[in-house]
Structure 1
Amino acid sequence: MTSFAAKSFNAAAYFASRPTYPPAFYDLTLAYHTSRGGEKESALDLGCGPGLIASQLTSRFTTVLGVDPGEKMISVAKSASVLPEDKLAYRVGKGEDLSFIEDSSVDLLTVGQAAHWFDFDVIWNELGRILKPGGSVAFWGYGENTFPNHPSLQGIISKYQASLPWQQPGRSIVEGLLSSLPFPVAPSQAPSPTLNLLSSRPWTLPQEPTPPAELTSTGWDPESMVRIRETPEGGPLGIPKTMTWEEYDDYLGTASGLHEYARLNGEEAGKKLRREFLDEIKEGVKQEGGRDDGKIDVVWPAVVMLAGKKL
């Protein structure tokens, strides 16, 4: 988080290089939300970064607010928006303190690749306070990228990622696809039948993390708690993207672990590490007869974690 919030962080490059969530993520989340009786007046995107999700929610909700602790992220989001502030607004803030948002005023709250930064002894109370009855929370996350056409190279990726000084426990939460994050209440053993609309086997892991001990917010629906890691067709949930090598290199440059490595070892050392990894991957793809158009197919394994309040 410190890397993304730093004034030197290149938020514009982050905006251009990060994977974007396909329409299926929005469709799935809206199907969940509306099937439980949720309304579509107010949406909040928490940890909004440069506004990737918030801007997409404007076609589905009357008003959207994006909140992020990084001033540069908010600056980029505002500069990219062409909508009036009464439709789409952004402000600096943290999920653990949303005192500027009224009680029971938010229909849907989304979090894209940011839930691993939260203090879960605090945040469920704050989210429970601002959500309306029937409101929903959707955490979207993705793990370490893969090259589906070159699975033999995964070891190189894992070795490189392990060499970076990631902030913990955030990195392990990301790699575990949010499986260690607690729901506000223990999930029901018999989730609502409406959730069958979303996936062939969407249910939670057999052993769930213990919910926060100091939960003061009420109204959470145990039948609404679910983690989804597969598509309705039964395949793994993922974010696919075809990238040029230059785009993939830019994506590598947005990693907080690499920024921390450069801070500890110097900018040149960070560039050298990144360049050596990219050269090794490119050579591996070449040896396996990769695409001849200078591009690479990338997939990030993904998860959608959903929780809702009772009507």
Structure 2
Amino acid sequence: MTENTFADPSYSVENYRAHRPKYPERLYKDILEFHDSQNGQRGVAVDLGCGPGIVTEALTSYFDTVIGVDPSQSMIKLASQCAPDTLQGKLEYKVGSAEDIPVEAGSVDMITAGTAAHWFAPEWWSTAAKVLRSGGTVALFAVARPFYTLNSHPEAVKINTEAREVAMSSLTDYMMLKGNQVARSMSSDLPLPPSETGTWGPVDRRVWNKDGAVEGEEVYMSEKLTMKEMKAKARTGSPIHRWAEANKDKVGTPEDPIEQVAAVVKKLTGWSDEHVFEIGYGLSLVLVKRL
């Protein structure tokens, strides 16, 4: 993982674990339906870019052994500290990277990466091929920008448009890293495995809620929260962290992009910081079988 904002000593790994969105159970079921249909086994799963273990812990419900891997020592330390005692012997964390996965060759049944693969170097696919068993699966999923759902307010489309314009006016310069650009593309620009090697099967790509709040379209991933919680969640993003590090004297002031967005939403809705509303997320999923 390159250009790793999340390994910055000033980055709060505790806030990351507390406020990052949790993936819905239906996503794991969709992934496992693909995996099982390809005769995949459920022995060992490796979660790359695992951070503090959000996805890693979820995978323990489906695999005998789960290994979380992340280049950030502080993320791995927190993940290990937070691991439930009931998962001892089933859950393990290691410092490492997608380009150098610290497991034995041919020992893994599934590799996952939750909103992390956009930071991987393209050559990571050769490492994945080495550690995956035949029939194994790579599942790369990523959250895109959040949106206020149609259930949250009658003017949700207007709110989303104006809030996004305000955020982009302040954060564009902090979204220029290649990884952020790939994430914003809903992983359409994500480097895929070379098809000519005969190592990988066809790519199964799925996208949900690419355009945000759309009449008649089911929201695949959502959660209910307050404006106060929404602001805390937004501050875990890498662009806003980089902005905050460059503008420490402006954090929490009217010049803070998070406060600016909140002010726009409050003006349009009349909501208080404690009002509960629904936020949806665009979500992409890339599935590939190891032949």
Instruction: Give the TM-score band, short-chain normalised.
Output: 0.7 to 0.9
RMSD: 2.1
Map 1:177-188 onto structure 2 (within 5 A): 177-186=186-195
Say if 1:69 and 1:292 are closer, same or farther in 2 by CA, change over 3 A: closer
Alignment coverage as a number of residue pairs: 271
Structure 1 partner of 2:252: 271
SS across alignment from 2:245: helix
Change (3 A) 1:236 1:228: farther
Q: In structure 1, what is the Cα distance between the partners aligned to 2:185 and 2:138?
A: 19
Distance in 2 separating the partners of 1:293 and 1:77:
30
| Cross-structure match for 1:172 | 181
Name the CA distance, whole Å, in 1 between partners of 2:167 and 2:118.
17
Give yes or no for contact 2:167–2:261 (8 Å, CA) kept in 1. no
Matches for 1:119-138 after TM superposition, within 5 Å: 119-120=121-122, 122-138=123-139
Partner Cα separation in structure 1 for residue 183 and residue 118 of structure 2:
7
Shift of 1:237: 6.1
- Partner of residue 243 from structure 2, selected from 257, 261, 266: 261
CA distance in 1, matches of 2:28, 2:89: 22
Between the aligned partners of 1:39 and 1:63, the Cα distance in structure 2 is 12
| Structure-2 separation of matches of 1:254 and 1:82 | 23
Residue 206 of structure 1 aligns with which residue? none
Q: What is the match of residue 221 of structure 1?
A: 201
Where in structure 1 are there 5+ consecutive unaligned residues? 187-210
Following TM superposition, by how much is the alpha carbon of 1:28 offset from its aligned partner in structure 2, in angstroms? 0.3
Partner of 1:239: 221
* Contact preservation (8 Å) 2:146, 2:280: yes
Q: Could you say what secondary structure the match of 2:145 adopts?
A: coil
SS in 2 for 1:145: strand
Choose the corresponding residue for 2:17, options 15, 18, 25.
Answer: 15
Show CA shifts across 1:128-177 (max 9, x none).
Answer: 11100000000111111111231101223322442221242112211111
Alpha-carbon offset, residue 280 of structure 1? 1.8
Q: Which amino acid is 1:182 matched to?
A: P
Given that 1:240 and 1:299 are in contact with CA atoms closer than 8 Å, whether structure 2 keeps it comes out as yes
CA distance in 1 between partners of 2:117 and 2:218 (Å): 21
Query: Which amino acid is the alignment partner of residue 200 of structure 2?
Result: W
Distance, in Å, in 1 between the alignment partners of 2:96 and 2:252 is 32
Partners of 1:229 and 1:236 within 8 A in 2 = no
AA aligned to 2:227 is W
> Are residues 235 and 13 of structure 1, via their aligned partners in 2, closer, same or farther at CA, if it must alter by over 3 Å?
same
| TM-superposed deviation, 1:258 | 1.2
The one-letter code of the counterpart of 1:268 is D
Distance in 1, Cα, partners of 2:163 & 2:140: 25
In the alignment, what sits opposite 1:32? 34
Deviations 1:195-245 (A, max 9, x none): xxxxxxxxxxxxxxxx8xxx6xx52123xx1111249xx946632011111
Q: Judge which range, 126-135 or 158-167, deviates more.
A: 158-167
Residue type of the partner of 1:170? G
- Partners of 1:116 and 1:50 lie apart in 2 by 18
Look up the SS of the partner of 1:180 in the other structure.
coil
> 2:63 — aligned with what?
61
Match of 1:5 among 7, 26, 35: 7
Closer, same or farther: CA 135–85 of 1 in aligned 2, 3 Å: same
In the aligned structure 2, how far is the partner of 1:292 from the partner of 1:172?
31
Q: Which amino acid aligns with 1:303?
A: S
Aligned to 1:248: 230
C-alpha change, 1:236 and 1:173, in structure 2 (3 Å) is: farther
Cα distance in 2 for residues equivalent to 1:263 and 1:131: 39
Write the distance in 2 (CA, Å) between the matches of 1:11 and 1:293. Answer: 25
- How many Å separate the matches in 2 of 1:159 and 1:97? 39
* Residue 293 of structure 1: how far off its partner (Å): 6.7
Does the Cα contact within 8 Å between 1:242 and 1:297 map onto a contact in 2?
Answer: yes
What are the equivalent positions in structure 2 for 1:184-195 lying under 5 Å apart? 184-186=193-195
CA distance in 1, matches of 2:38, 2:229: 40
Report the residue type matching 2:64 in the other structure. T
Q: How far apart in 1 are the matches of 2:205 and 2:13?
A: 29
